[in-house]
Amino acid sequence: MDRVNQIWNHPIYQNELNKLQLLETDREFCRHTPEHFLDVARLAYIRALEENAPVSKELIYCTALLHDIGRARQYEDGTPHDEAGAAIAGQILNELGFSMEEIEAIVSAIRGHRAQTDQTVLGKLLYTADKRSRNCFSCKAEPECYWSCQKKYDDPILGGFFMKIGNREFDVKNKTYIMGILNVTPDSFSDGGKWNDMDHALKHTEAMIAEGADILDIGGESTRPGHTPVGAQEEIERVLPVIEAVKSRFDIPISVDTYKGCVAEESLKHGADLINDIWGLKYDPEMAPVIARYNAPCCLMHNKDNTEYNNFIVDMLAETQECVNIAKRAGIADDKIILDPGVGFGKTYEMNLMTMDNLELFRKLGYPVLLGTSRKSMIGLALDLPVDQRVEGTLATSVIGVMKGCAFVRVHDIKENKRVIQMTEAILGR
């Protein structure tokens, strides 16, 4: 490790480092200190050991020590710090007698560490360690940070993509999470009227959390076939007290199931963390701007008021992409979007089964997928069973959802779904 010390003591390195510390004196977060360089080095080396990567400890530490050394020049004249750092590193390494192969490897890793353009083992180690060295979601400046969740936590080695909902992080590439359903409606198809009373709603919430719910989805209007529409004000009066009561008593992210922009806005004002829109932003033109304004995550479901398609799968995916396009035009970031294929909406029984069989295609649109099949008519028709006997059918769909990479399942029966998800993930090695 002698050459690491030589880099540290090199006059060019010390000059650039001292300038950088002065320039960042008043910076309260993400400072580029020697501590940061060492954190990156240690994380990269640990990962190298775990992966049995053919890279020496010395080379890893040399690279980490140099990777942000161009920061001062970026502050001074606007030169991107990866390019400035590569130039500074090349000069220092050459003067210290590093081989051309070593210089090329280190410089390439530094040049590619911002966007992971260097696909070498060293480059990947540096990129991942640099991202993992920051405790972004405990930072007080996180709400104003221009980095997306994906940029902060996308891991090219592990393949992780962490999405923040409320105060929780969800590994939406490798895990499947449970969204528990809390309908505060008199006419929902499965549990209408059960949780209208606040005491019952809170007891049910407590039970769902105890059984393993990761998110709570509160709905103030039934969306079952043939449901009676509810005015926005009535829907607001149903959901807001529940949002506030749950927030004051439990630590769980809250989703609100609504397709009305004004309901979404009031819900977000009062503590909701996610908007679950069954019309995928197509019903109310005010919905997308509201979500964008509050920088909130959203779930966009495929839906239509008929079952007419030229080519069902192709058309369904194209119509879902239209929802994404609306979101992006409104300024909703990619890392705030979840997609729902909309089983039971705008589809025949056969189409619903086909949707289940092609869930993986939704993932190819580039966003986490939520699957909502709990106790739905597709299951009732397949098994010839009433609503209150569709648990096993729901579990079968949840297993398929896990196997096809769905990040969330929206269900009524938490305990049972939690167990089958855990078992399926164990088999799949997740």
Q: Retrieve residue 79's tokens.
A: 């030169």
Which residues belong to the active site? 376, 410
Amino acid of residue 362: F
Question: Radius of gyration over alpha carbons of the chain, in Å?
Answer: 25
Q: What is the pLDDT of residues 236-266, one digit of tens each?
A: 999 999 999 999 999 999 999 999 999 999 9
**3-state DSSP of 77-90:** HCCCHHHHHHHHHH
The residues, ordered by sequence, that sit 6+ positions from 210 with a Cβ below 8 Å of its Cβ are none
Report in angstroms the alpha-carbon separations of 357 from 32, 144, 169, 377, 400: 49, 41, 29, 17, 8
Residue whose entry in the numeric block shows the structure tokens 């149903």:
238
Beta-carbon neighbour count of residue 403 at 10 Å?
15
pLDDT at 156: 45
Crossing angle of helices 414-428 and 198-211, rounded to 10°: 20
Q: Which H or E element spans position 394?
A: helix 391-403
Longest distance between any two alpha carbons in the chain, whole Å: 79
Amino acid of residue 66: L
pLDDT at 58: 92
Q: What is the pLDDT of residues 371-412, one digit of tens each?
A: 999 999 999 999 999 999 999 999 999 999 999 999 999 999
pLDDT at 147: 62
pLDDT at 152: 57
- DSSP H stretches of helix in 112-155: 121-132, 149-153
pLDDT at 157: 41
Residue whose entry in the numeric block shows the structure tokens 């004000």:
233
β partners of residue 277: 300
Please report the domains of the chain, with CATH numbers, ordered by start residue. 2-134 (1.10.3210.10), 168-428 (3.20.20.20)
Q: What is the distance between the alpha carbons of residues 177 and 19, in angstroms, rounded to a whole number? A: 46
Average pLDDT of each block of 10 consecutive residues along the chain (430 residues)?
A: 91 92 82 88 88 90 92 88 91 93 92 78 88 67 61 50 89 94 70 64 95 96 70 94 95 97 97 97 97 96 96 94 94 93 97 96 90 96 96 98 96 97 93
The residues, ordered by sequence, that sit 6+ positions from 19 with a Cβ below 8 Å of its Cβ are 72, 76
Q: What is the distance between the alpha carbons of residues 298 and 319, in angstroms, rounded to a whole number? A: 17
Sign, CA torsion 203/206/211/215: positive
